[in-house]
Amino acid sequence: GVPVDEVSRSLLERGIGVVDLLGEQSGVFASKGECRRFIQGGGLSLNKEKVKEAELVINTGYLLNGKFLLVQKGKKNYHLLKVAD
């Protein structure tokens, strides 16, 4: 019952800002501004680790099992990003 979005591996190989990844490249947030507000309020986690700054750059080193990113919005909203080759 967790929503899943696909993102391109090439985006993560180059490195992409967390706001761009979650606000533009996937359906996790409706906008980049909403994503920034969640980060400022301490309500966003990646792989169970709090995101503390909007300038965070996500790369392939963040992937679980080489192909997944677990995003948590608030307390109960989870989203899975699957990396497509």
C-alpha 42/C-alpha 50 separation (Å) is 7
Beta bridge partners of 4: 80
Please give the chain's pLDDT, 85 residues, in tens: 899 999 999 999 999 999 999 999 999 999 999 999 999 999 999 999 999 999 999 999 999 999 999 999 999 999 999 999 8
As a whole number of angstroms, the distance between CA 48 and CA 14 comes to 23
CA dihedral 47, 53, 59, 60 (to 10 degrees): -10
Query: What's the rounded Cα separation, in Å, for the pair 41 and 5?
Result: 24
| Token digits of residue 77 | 């909203």
